[in-house]
Structure 1
């Protein structure tokens, strides 16, 4: 994902948005000559920096004070913008708290869609997940793995955010199911395989993420290894007594 968090903190802990020119992917400063669209690009980059600064400030306040105790006024004061500016980007505290998680979910759906069409569903899901996990560590816009874990813990510790996160997860699962169905030319309303595949995938990743968070291995290699371990464990379950039997309807009922 393009863009980055160009913000720093002053001695009081306030977030200062960097108003300097953003860098392109080549490391050079984009031109702003008339007629090239540079002015529009600069405005978009400044908007993106403001959004990222709001997310960073909100997550820090939520971590330090708690979600319920933090006000929107405190968030905007930390970034030195108005409440009106905040509401241009987010409808409320819930959306800014879940911004990082939502970015990851959108990235995952897009990554699945970008996989080669001849890949098996599980292969596409595994490789898409690996690419997104690497991006979390390597792309400043998605934040560091430590910040992402902090967001997970914030969500898990707050019933309101947990409920909202579950709603987002259901929607993401539907989108991924539709993407898998599209890739393989089946109707997800008539064919249960895409939904079952995605549901199994999400269960494996959720268990792996919980384990990764508990281990404290906050790096891309750590999470990739943990997810691989979970997939291997699931493969073993399928061939063992745990999941080898019991799939057919129970005639003794």
Structure 2
């Protein structure tokens, strides 16, 4: 094990310890009542050290967004350049589902605790939606680049991303938000398959109309 490897493992261990402490405190005493100082105290670090890992308490509860975005962007970059954009996004979503399905018991518990927190504190949902919009913008830029178009002008690129990401939202929330990790991922996979069956082949490879 190299020095860099050991350092990275220690950083990840500390990051997860901060996350676990925060999730437990929020569920025990409430979101607003939980302070960064309290979280840092449980982990036996200084508030200054906390900010090396998370920019704020709000940033902390959005950790799954960042993890998911990273997995999907890596998958998008690895797909063949001539693959239809919607298909590319479906591959990225399935890679995310595979990561979730292979979660350790600890990661699965964190995921379910986070869903519980969002259910208890609806004001956090707005932040989740805003963070999701940033992610969708990044995905639209990737899709537009694959289509050799300007993401600010290519409406289809944004629509492709919106359709793909809606399968994640519908699958994880409808008909309800309850369930274990396997139940949630199964619902998402079913929704993805429904979308793929419902869309006409080739709809996502249309070229933008040229100005007259």
CA 133–235 in structure 1, closer or farther in 2 if over 3 Å, else same: closer
Q: Is 1:201 the counterpart of 2:164 in the alignment?
A: yes
Which structure 1 segments of 5+ residues have no match? 1-29, 31-37, 240-253
Instruction: Write out per-residue CA displacement over residues 178-233 of structure 1, whole angstroms, 9 at most, x where no aligned residue.
Output: 111112322222221110110111222101111386341322xx344322322344
CA-CA distance at 1:177 after TM superposition:
0.5
What do you get for the CA RMSD once the two structures are aligned?
Answer: 2.5
When you count helix as a share of all residues, which structure comes out higher? 2
Q: Which residue of 2 aligns with 1:103?
A: 67
CA-CA distance at 1:165 after TM superposition:
1.3
Q: Which residue of 2 aligns with 1:53?
A: 17
Which structure 2 segments of 5+ residues have no match? 201-212
> Number of aligned pairs?
200
- Structure possessing the higher radius of gyration over alpha carbons: 1
3-state SS, counterpart of residue 174 of structure 2: helix
Instruction: Write out per-residue CA displacement over residues 42-91 of structure 1, whole angstroms, 9 at most, x where no aligned residue.
Output: 22321221112101111122222221121222211221111121122222
Which of these residues, 215, 218, 226, is aligned with residue 187 of structure 2?
A: 226
1:208·1:227 contact (CA, 8 Å) conserved in 2? yes
CA-CA distance at 1:237 after TM superposition:
5.7
Counterparts of 1:234 and 1:40 in 2: how far apart (Å)?
A: 44
Moved more, 186-195 or 164-173: 186-195
1:109·1:172 contact (CA, 8 Å) conserved in 2? no
Greater relative CO (CA pairs within 8 A, separation 6+): 2
Q: Is 1:115 the counterpart of 2:79 in the alignment?
A: yes
